[in-house]
Amino acid sequence: MVRKVEKNNADLATLADQAYPAIEEMIVDRKLEPGQMISEGEIGATLGVGRTPIREAIARLKHVGFVEIHSRRGVQVSTIDPVKHLELLEVRLPLERDIVRHAVQRATDTDLEDLAEVSAALVQAAKSSDRRAYFRAKRNLHDVEVRSARNSILSKTMRSLHAQSRRFWQSYEPTSSFEKGAGLHEKIAKAIIARNEATAQANVEKLFAFLESLTELVVKRRHL
């Protein structure tokens, strides 16, 4: 179910600020499919806001590559390019290393408790092959790791990159890879909890080698 934007929170954030993650979620979860033409009016009606904040949110989504704006045809959800996802992983890797380095140094006891909880949920979802629970748990794990790094600029940057990756994985990650992926995420979380930076960094490298291999398989299938 799509969450409506709360108009009474306008004093805390603009309606566009609230509309942006709502529309982003609709695209990531494929409620708005790649290639689909979308109506500012219909989205505004769904979220309960006017055209102006929707237009501003769509402009931001264009900036991160989620939509394309055609002068005559309107707004279209962009297709997913596996080659660009490989490039995205190249950008993410050093930033993810920074996240775990800072998290090891700065995570609070509450952060560490949350890391243990969400990583266990991810492993359980992987074992049950529950795609919805798996992607929800993976998002929660990323959110806790980024929060634990205590860096507002890094947090803002990773929000966009993680959203783009979620969109790719929800379309292409095979359920058969869940357990290995969850296991690698769990090792990173456990290393952060143990405040062992070297082990956390090593497992980030292993995770990204695995993610790159999965993405490369998609690229190869596209070219067959």
Per-residue pLDDT of 62-72, as tens digits, reads 988 899 998 88
Sequence spans of domains, the chain: 7-77, 82-222
Q: Strand ranges (DSSP E) for 44-180?
A: 67-70, 74-77
Phi, psi of 115 (to 5 degrees): -60, -45
- Name the strand (E) or helix (H) holding 37: strand 37-38
Domain 7-77 classification at class level: mainly alpha
* CATH architecture classification, 82-222: Up-down Bundle (1.20)
Name, in order, each residue with C-beta under 8 angstroms of 219's C-beta and a sequence gap of 6 or more.
82, 83, 86
Name the residue with tokens 């748990």.
137
Name, in order, each residue with C-beta under 8 angstroms of 176's C-beta and a sequence gap of 6 or more.
none
Same fold, 7-77 and 82-222: no
> What pLDDT digit, counting tens, does each position of 139-194 carry?
999 999 999 999 999 999 999 899 999 999 999 999 999 999 999 999 999 999 99
Instruction: Tell me the pTM.
Output: 0.84
Name, in order, each residue with C-beta under 8 angstroms of 27's C-beta and a sequence gap of 6 or more.
61, 66, 67, 77, 167
